[in-house]
Each structure stands twice: as C-alpha cells, then as structure tokens.
Structure 1
Amino acid sequence: MKLVILSAGSIAGKVAHLLAPLGLHDELVIADLDLTKADALARSVGGTAARFDASDPASIRSVITGADVVFNAVGPFYRFGMPIIRAAIECGVHYVDVCDEYDVAEQLVRATDLDEAARTAGVTVIFGMGYAPGITSLIGRWAAESLDSTHSIDVTMAIPYLVNMGATINEHMLHSMSGDVRQFIDGEIRPVPAWGDPRPATFGPPFDTTVQAGYMGHPEGITLGTYVPGLRNATVRFTWFEQAGNELWQSFERLGLTDPNPLAGLPVSPREYLARFMATPEGEKGLAVEPSRMPGTVMQIVADGEIGG
C-alpha cells in the first residue's frame, strides 16, 4: 500500500512517526512545499520526499496519483481542504484529514455531488479525525447513544491564552473566531456571530473554575447536528481562560484585522498579516496578556436528553 502524507509540519510529523513502525504500507511519501522539511521527515521515518504546492490542483494530483491513501495536514483547511479532497476523489485515492474548519465541514455535508462522485470512484473521505474535532465528536456521539433520546449536544473549549500557535493555526483561530460562523440550531445549520450567546461552563479539578464561552466556528456542531438522529441543537463555544485575551481578540475584528480580503495594493489580507505577526517575537511580546496559570486545555461535551423517563 502506498501512503502519502501531505505536509511535513508538526501534526503530519507525529502521524508519520506513529504509522511508520506499524508496517501498514509498502511505500511512504512525505510531500510539502518545503522539500527540505519533507526530506528531513522522510529520512526519519524511512520514506521518500516530494515537493507539492497545495494551491496548485495539478501539483496536488501529481503527488497523490497512484496512492492508496492520502493523509492531509495542510492548513488552514478553509483554503486548502476542499481542493485536496476533490483531487483525491478525482484520482481515486482514499482520504483522511484533521480538518478543523466549520465551513469545509458544511460544504462536505451539503455536497451531494461530491458524495456521489466519491461513491462512484469507490473512495472513502474521512474528515475531522483529530482531537477537536475527532475525539470531541466521538464523545458527543457516545453521550447521545447513552440516552434514550437526545435533543442537544454542546461542546465547550477553554484554553490558556497563547499568542503564537504557529502562523497556520493562528490563521485558523482568527477565521474561527470572527465574522459569522455556523452552528446547528433548531434543526438546521445557521449563521451566528463568533463570540455570540456566551454561556457559563464549569470545569472541575484541576481547573476549578467557571468561564463564559461564546460561539466558535468549528465542525462538531455541523457534523453532530447532521449525523446524530433527533438532534435539534449542536453547538461549539470557546474561551481563553484569560478574559483580557478574549477582549483583545474581539478587538481584532472591530479594528478590521480579521478581514480575509487583501487591501488594495497589499499582497496579503489583514488576517494573514496578523497571523504571521503573532508568530514573531515582536507579536508574542506585543499581544501578550497576564497568564491565568491554568494547567492546560479542557474540552467539555454535554448531551441533553432523556433516559428512563
């Protein structure tokens, strides 16, 4: 079996090191825009390296053609997810990713033509197979199946404030926490404002705190709402533990810094610029807030329904 891993970054590297010793493949290819990074990872796992450009459909097809499975970790997925998925179906290659973008999830659950094309090609597409979404989605489904009937599933994420998550994740987070995002409300996918409808969430030890969390653009609400029978509502909410971080991030939108469209005469959008600035020493220093000293990230998944009356 030939396995192609798209990206030589942190997530792709961990997946490569997990899979390499399992003997699930005869050939392993690591593909990235940066051939030097791809080669270094390939050498460490006994694979080969290839260069590809995720913004070029022909380049995508050239590197995955002939593969049995492609694992995609190229982000941000709202820019690169759908073109790579379409290329995989066209090339007859099974596809897995860790997509964490709500709009890609919405496109996929609505794309009946793409579903039909995948079935015709005999291709399986599995998206959102990470921690969140992924483990969070499985917990939501397990919780729903533990009840006789379920009418809502709510996911809440609380994270210690961090300026530099890497330029790609920075951009993903700015995309997820600005403008209108999607939630599953009253039986349908609806647009709602990011940070909107904040609600309290209480976390036990070792956190021992209650936070206010507002809407976040993330796939769980869309996928759980679509695929768990009987659900009326499925939502995702987010907060930094540090309120100063929440206020700072909400000010980014008021100042126009989350705009995804390049301004006249400039090569990148305000959002791309801010994401890259946050990944510099100057950005880390200038956008820092007083830390809360919370021990780490926490996810809470709550299913509401009935059991035994």
Structure 2
Amino acid sequence: MTDRVLILGGRGRIGGSVAQDIATYTQAQITITGRSPQTAKSSSWDLGERAKFLVLDLAEVDKLREAIANSNLVIHCAGPFHYRDANVLKICIEQGVNYLDVSDHRSFTSKALKYHQQAVAAGVTAIVNTGIFPGISNSMVRQGVEQFDEPEKIHLSYLVAGSGGAGITVMRTTFLGLQYPFTAWLDGQWQTVKPYSQREVVNFPSPYGNTGVYWFDMPETFTLPAAFPTVKTVITKFGSVPDFYNHLTWIAAHIFPKWLMQRHGAIEFLSHVSHFMTDVTNPFSGIGVAVRSEVTGIKAGKKDIYCSTLVHENTAVASGCGTGSIAQFLLEGKLQKPGVWAVESALSTDLFIQAMQSRGITIHHS
C-alpha cells in the first residue's frame, strides 16, 4: 500500500521544504493543507502528481480528524507554535497515526510531551522539534554527548543569514521569543534568563566566522537536561547576519516597552518590516544557517570538549532535511518508538548520520 503523508501548513517555506524532501526520498502520496484556495497557487514547489492540496483550517476539527484518519503520518508545520494547542497530536493518538512537527517553542513542546503515556498506549510514535534548530542541532548534541563517560555542559549556538529562506512566520517566531524571560539549566539549577541578552562572539565555520549570538528561548533548554541527566549546564544562543539585525533585535527585546512587545499588532508590524528588510539584504548575506554544538565532559578520567559544526546554504531547506529524514525513517519502519519525544531522545546517532549523508549535509567534528 502507498504511504499517505499529511503536511499541515505545507505551503509555507518550511512546510514546502519538508514536502520537497519527502517527495524526493520516499514514494508517499502527499497531501498539503492551507487555509485558502489562494494558498495553493502561491507555492513555488513542484511536487508532481503525488501531491495534492486540501483547504483546511485547524479550527475545523471534524475535517481535520477525517484528514488525519486517512493518513499514515501527519507533519505539523503550521506555526508559529507559541500559542498552538496540542489538538493535532491528540487526534493523531486517537487515530493511531504517527506524528512529527517543526515546533520551536517550549510552551508547545511542554503541552505535547504531556501526551507521552497516551501515545505509548496507542503505539504511536510522535516526535516534536524536528527541523534544523531544534532538530538536527539536537542530534548533533546527542552525538557529542555519546563521546563522553560523563557529559557536563552543552553549548548550542545558531546563526541565520537574512531571512533564512523562510517566510513571515519565522519572523513572528523571533519576536514572540522576546516577550518574556525564561528558565535555563545552569550549574545544576534552573535560573531565569532574559531573551537576547549576554552577547557572546562565537567562531562559526566559513563564510560566517566570528559572529555575535544571544540567549534565546528554545525547547532544547529543557529537553536536553531531561535527556542527559548528568549535564549541569545547557546554553542556547542565537544570532543573525548581518550583525546589525542583532542590534535591532536587542533593542526590541530591551528598549521597547514590554506592553508593546506583547501586543499582536506590534509583533505583526515588526515581522513585516523585518521580512521586507531581509528581502533587501538576502542577495548580499545569503539565506544560510550555521549550527555549533559544543559538549564538555569527562572521558577516561580527563575533561575534554567535543565540537560539531554544520553550515547549509538555505535554512528552510535544511529544516526540511531534518524533518523529512525522520519522516522517511518512520515510513520505512526504521524508527518505531511509541511515545512523545524530543528528537534527541528518539533518533539514534546511526540513523542521524545516515540521514545527513544521504542528503549531502556534512558535519565537522573536532
């Protein structure tokens, strides 16, 4: 029988990249959803005859349930996830359908993980945070952690050039992440951190070099300590290229009134202005992504550092590779782990290496 994949929000840049990866590496029939018929005409992806479009709003619960019931795998790409509930995951568990998403915020991840026991009982494998960061970055950390007898510290740094090849939703995600302080696992205890604070200059691979990164609220800040209990510190920092975007974002996080940054209208305005600006700078900056994972720990009685780096020319495409490769493993039966998991707890390093090699993504280690 032909596998059937349902991609919610599949006409966005990230969702389209996921669909393209699945069309390239599997023989699945793909159904892509959007909220209006006009959405179907706005995509630049050509997925061939194996893809069809379905008008669907997530609020249409009966129609959503029917679409999920007719699928072998559901991939949730309809962000931003800051205020999403876990209803899609809940229906997947009820219907016995495997689930992936590209979520990137702790509030949604926390909601999803609460369905772990229900997914186990239903035999459903559900994996959240499967894009590039979080996603591929988490697997880079797992690979680093496995080099040590006792891992102690994780330092993750992300860098996106221009728009990253993504759409307006990613801009919304950035500004939504500036609204509130968050907790991070530091020196064996939970401590409050301000978003876009404590600038640090990190040396990324060419063409980026030394670039500033800042604290940013990501699900990894709490999923990684849960996955690797001996780790005492987890740092997640993010930055942009060109660097003046970092300074503008810092101003939004620290100078703009908090009440303003918590208004929907302000987020929309800033998101559209930022997207317009990146349209101007993309030809000069590119739309790539860099990830740097640094794990410190004890091996054979000695302290050491294991560093992994990745560079991809298109952030959205890299995200599609992260999610699409896991979808491929689920469809092929190579990955079966009932429950709700973050990537680092579900995907083995062997499968991760296989995924990256098959998609021509090189990860350097030192």
TM-score of Structure 1 vs Structure 2, range by shorter chain: 0.7 to 0.9
Separation in structure 2 between the aligned mates of residue 105 and residue 129 of structure 1, nearest angstrom: 11
Structure scoring higher RCO (CA < 8 A, sep ≥ 6) equals: 2
Separation in structure 2 between the aligned mates of residue 31 and residue 12 of structure 1, nearest angstrom: 10
1:240 paired residue number: 240
The answer to whether 1:18 aligns with 2:18 is no
Separation in structure 1 between the aligned mates of residue 189 and residue 110 of structure 2, nearest angstrom: 11
Secondary structure of 1:197's counterpart equals: coil
1:299 paired residue number: 291
Given the superposition, is the C-alpha separation of residues 23 and 132 from structure 1 closer, same or farther in structure 2, using an over 3 Å criterion?
A: closer
Shift of 1:59: 4.3
Which consecutive residues of structure 2, in runs of 5 or more, have no partner in the other structure? Answer: 302-366
Secondary structure of 1:153's counterpart equals: strand
2:266 paired residue number: 270
Separation in structure 2 between the aligned mates of residue 49 and residue 42 of structure 1, nearest angstrom: 12
Secondary structure of 2:84's counterpart equals: helix
- Per mean C-alpha deviation after superposition, the further-off stretch among 293-302 and 125-134 is 293-302
**TM-score of the aligned structures, taking structure 2 as reference length:** 0.70
Cα deviation digits, residues 33-67 of structure 1 (max 9, x gap):
13343477687342332111124444432321232
Secondary structure of 1:79's counterpart equals: coil
Separation in structure 2 between the aligned mates of residue 162 and residue 203 of structure 1, nearest angstrom: 18
5 Å-filtered alignment, 1:102-117, equals 102-109=106-113, 111=114, 114-117=115-118
Cα deviation digits, residues 145-198 of structure 1 (max 9, x gap):
111211111101233355995220100111224421343334455542102233
Separation in structure 2 between the aligned mates of residue 103 and residue 168 of structure 1, nearest angstrom: 17
Secondary structure of 1:269's counterpart equals: helix
5 Å-filtered alignment, 1:132-281, equals 132-162=133-163, 165-187=166-188, 190-209=191-210, 211-253=211-253, 254-256=255-257, 259=260, 261-262=262-263, 268-280=264-276
* Contact 2:30–2:51 (8 Å) recurs in 1: yes
Shift of 1:237: 0.6
* Contact 2:184–2:221 (8 Å) recurs in 1: yes
* Contact 1:159–1:241 (8 Å) recurs in 2: yes
2:131 paired residue number: 130
The number of equivalent residue pairs is 295
Cα deviation digits, residues 210-256 of structure 1 (max 9, x gap):
x4422111222222111123111112111224443222112223324
Secondary structure of 2:92's counterpart equals: helix
Separation in structure 2 between the aligned mates of residue 23 and residue 292 of structure 1, nearest angstrom: 35
Given the superposition, is the C-alpha separation of residues 260 and 96 from structure 1 closer, same or farther in structure 2, using an over 3 Å criterion?
A: farther
Cα deviation digits, residues 127-147 of structure 1 (max 9, x gap):
111111111111101101111
1:265 paired residue number: none
Separation in structure 1 between the aligned mates of residue 195 and residue 185 of structure 2, nearest angstrom: 14
Secondary structure of 1:3's counterpart equals: strand
* Contact 2:13–2:166 (8 Å) recurs in 1: no
Separation in structure 1 between the aligned mates of residue 77 and residue 122 of structure 2, nearest angstrom: 23
User: For the aligned residues, what is the CA RMSD?
Assistant: 3.2
* Contact 2:162–2:278 (8 Å) recurs in 1: no
Identity of aligned residues (%): 20
Shift of 1:270: 1.7
Which consecutive residues of structure 1, in runs of 5 or more, have no partner in the other structure? Answer: 263-267
* Contact 2:163–2:287 (8 Å) recurs in 1: no
Given the superposition, is the C-alpha separation of residues 18 and 291 from structure 1 closer, same or farther in structure 2, using an over 3 Å criterion?
A: closer
Separation in structure 1 between the aligned mates of residue 165 and residue 140 of structure 2, nearest angstrom: 29
The answer to whether 1:75 aligns with 2:79 is yes
Amino acid at match of 1:308: A
Given the superposition, is the C-alpha separation of residues 30 and 42 from structure 1 closer, same or farther in structure 2, using an over 3 Å criterion?
A: farther
**TM-score of the aligned structures, taking structure 1 as reference length:** 0.81
Say which of 284, 293, 300 aligns to 1:308.
Answer: 300
Given the superposition, is the C-alpha separation of residues 252 and 115 from structure 1 closer, same or farther in structure 2, using an over 3 Å criterion?
A: same
1:86 paired residue number: 90
Separation in structure 2 between the aligned mates of residue 216 and residue 159 of structure 1, nearest angstrom: 13
* Contact 1:157–1:237 (8 Å) recurs in 2: yes
Secondary structure of 2:131's counterpart equals: coil
Separation in structure 2 between the aligned mates of residue 189 and residue 35 of structure 1, nearest angstrom: 46
Shift of 1:76: 0.7
Separation in structure 2 between the aligned mates of residue 23 and residue 290 of structure 1, nearest angstrom: 31
Given the superposition, is the C-alpha separation of residues 196 and 21 from structure 1 closer, same or farther in structure 2, using an over 3 Å criterion?
A: closer
Given the superposition, is the C-alpha separation of residues 302 and 31 from structure 1 closer, same or farther in structure 2, using an over 3 Å criterion?
A: same
